[in-house]
Homo-oligomer: A and B are copies of this chain.
Amino acid sequence: MPASSTRARLVAAAFRLFTARGFEATTVDDIAAEAGVGRTTFFRSFPSKEAVVFPDHAPILGAVDARLASASRDSADLALLEASRIVLDNYLADGDVARARYALTTSVPALRATESANQRAYQQLFRDHIRRWITPVDGELADDLLAEVLANAVVTAHNHVLRRWLRGTSDDPRRDLADAIGAVTSRIGLDAAAHEDTQVVVLRSRRSFDDVLPEVRRLLAD
């Protein structure tokens, strides 16, 4: 019997017991007994009782890292979308486990904490790659902050879409993700940092947008 099967049995046993009795009321001995193995074997497969709730964290994190590493500055926006999509697809792959995990993380404080730690890992991953795409231009204070805010926004957008789907509010989460990531990158994207000569001023006018735009274009032409 290969080791992966033992891991899978432990995960299945843990989710069965957690959803039935609750997280705190289930001991590691219970999980091991339910899976038909010893307590020591559990801790060989998972570093803690919390970790069994997020069994695919490390491999997904690695896949996201690989996707981001393969991108350059020009393909940044697409990389952000597809990297977050890797995570989303993994949740969509088996929705029952994802929903069970959602129910657990929303009710058990200890699991919320480890989930926060996991999301922090994603944020740092995105941040580092975004910073790598930015720094060729310059290394100002604002750039480090921009990288962090953008990374945070991407993760937040993903979580937002995922949560909506888990609650049944969304029909097409992949499309929602594309919209959300697009909305985020269009506001906090890298382009604004790239063109430092860009200046932003908000003006209001009673004139219609379609009327004004051609005139402004003409004004800036020469």
Residues of chain A at the chain B interface (Cβ within 8 Å)? 109, 112-114, 116-117, 119-120, 141-142, 144-145, 148-149, 152-153, 156-157, 160, 164, 176, 180, 183-184, 186-188, 191-192, 195, 197-207, 209, 212-213, 215-217, 219-222
Contacts and interface: CB of A to CB of B under 8 A. Distances in A.
Given A113-B116, A216-B219, 11 more contacts: A109-B117, A112-B117, A142-B183, A145-B180, A149-B153, A149-B156, A153-B188, A191-B202, A195-B204, A201-B213, A207-B220
22 contacts: A113-B116, A113-B117, A116-B116, A116-B117, A116-B120, A145-B180, A148-B156, A148-B160, A149-B152, A152-B153, A187-B192, A188-B188, A191-B202, A195-B204, A199-B209, A201-B213, A203-B216, A203-B217, A207-B220, A212-B220, A216-B216, A216-B219
A156 B152 contact: yes
Contacts of A219: 212, 215-216, 219
Q: How many copies does the complex hold?
A: 2
A22 to B, nearest CB: 19
Contacts of A149: 152-153, 156-157, 184
Contacts of A153: 149, 152-153, 188
Contacts of A222: 206-207
B116 A145 contact: no
A117 B116 CA distance: 6
A200 B116 CA distance: 34
B200 A220 contact: no
A50 to B, nearest CB: 9
For the complex of A and B, the 6 pairs showing the least CB-CB separation, nearest first, are A205-B220, A116-B116, A113-B117, A149-B153, A152-B152, A113-B113
Contacts of A157: 145, 149
A145 B159 CA distance: 10
A148 B180 CA distance: 12
Contacts of A188: 153, 187-188
A124 to B, nearest CB: 11
Nearest to A221: B205
